[in-house]
Structure 1
Amino acid sequence: MNTTEIENRGMDERLFATLCRRYQKSPVYNELGIRLLYLGRGAAGYEIDVEHCYTTVNGRLHGGIIATMADSAMGWACLSLGRAAVTVDMNLNYFKPVFQETRLRAEGYVIREGKTLVVTEANLFNNEKLVAKSMGTFFLSGDIELIGAI
């Protein structure tokens, strides 16, 4: 996915370009096929096609993939503030199963921004139905070094 396919929802262009470059170089997203859909200040959206290799014996998406999507959406919502962030705590509630040959979308939002801690939430959707919800706390560890002017 190139940066023209990632929607900028009102972010500073340099920060947006920096984060898009980080996303493109991230091994986990490339290996799992996780696509960044959009970034906005305090918001991020991801999606993944649920392939057979991500499912359990009964054809349901493994909960670890759902957790990865939630953590990514919340973490990148934090990064969109221009600060490096790491997960401190995360809670995830599963409501409905997700089956292969469908798509999972995760939308993360910053709920409360402090000086060093950020509280976030993520909603995860399959066929436009809420299938999981997560809350997370992230530690802000410093400013993100921006790439040059675009």
Structure 2
Amino acid sequence: MAQLTLEERYDEKVAAHMLEFGNQMPGLQQYLGVSLVRIEAGRLWAEADLSSQEPTPSGNLHGGVIAAVLDHVTGAVVYPVIPAGHWGATTELKINYLAPVAPGLLRAEASVLGMTKRSAVVRGEAYVGDRLVAAAQGTITIVAPRVTQAVSS
């Protein structure tokens, strides 16, 4: 049995919902000023307004800030291509920092490199202007909803 392509798995309604309401969800992404900009089958573009983040004594942002943005976008990119009711959990994320990042606008892109029913391998990139400042690759575990069984007495 052939596996579905990302285009065949893609749910445009989920993507539209993410763009409309996902940017209003409270949590770390709101704290970091992350906004989803565009979504396609297996691809996602976002921006993070990091201008309010406190820099380190060297004037740059802590790498954990960049890691959090990349973790968010590499996890979010799977939602339009996984079954309804499922969710994604980052189980591994490796980041290469390529250049220091000062407070300001960070652009991020994420893509699904490969996917099965249970996991996806994803890639994320962070940019300041046109300069690649960090690259990430990770694994997202796809978790099915739990089925609760009625307790018989």
TM tier relative to shorter chain: 0.7 to 0.9
**2 CA distance for matches of 1:133 and 1:40?**
20
Q: Report Cα offsets for 1:10-47 as digits up to 9, x if no partner.
A: x6442123323244223222222111111111111221
Structure number having the greater strand percentage: 1
Q: Write out the 4+ residue segments of structure 1 that deviate beyond 4 Å after TM superposition.
A: none
Q: Paired residue for 1:68?
A: 68
**1 CA distance for matches of 2:93 and 2:140?**
9
Q: CA RMSD in A?
A: 1.8
Q: Verify the 8 A CA contact 2:15 2:39 in the aligned structure 1.
A: yes
SS, match of residue 109 in structure 2: strand
Cα offset, 1:96, TM superposition? 0.5
SS, match of residue 19 in structure 1: helix
SS, match of residue 58 in structure 1: coil
Q: Verify the 8 A CA contact 2:42 2:111 in the aligned structure 1.
A: yes
Aligned with 2:97 (options 94, 116, 130): 94
Q: Verify the 8 A CA contact 2:123 2:137 in the aligned structure 1.
A: yes
Pairs aligned (count) = 132
**TM-score, reference length from structure 2:** 0.77
Q: Within the alignment, does 1:122 sit opposite 2:124 as a pair?
A: yes
Alignment of 1:1-150 (within 5 A): 12-20=11-19, 21-83=21-83, 84-100=87-103, 102-142=104-144
Give me the identity figure in percent: 28
Cα offset, 1:90, TM superposition? 0.5
Larger Rg: 2
Unaligned runs of 5+ in 2: 1-9, 146-153
Opposite residue 82 of structure 2, the aligned amino acid is: G
Unaligned runs of 5+ in 1: 1-10, 144-150
Q: Report Cα offsets for 1:91-126 as digits up to 9, x if no partner.
A: 0000110112x3111100000011201000011111
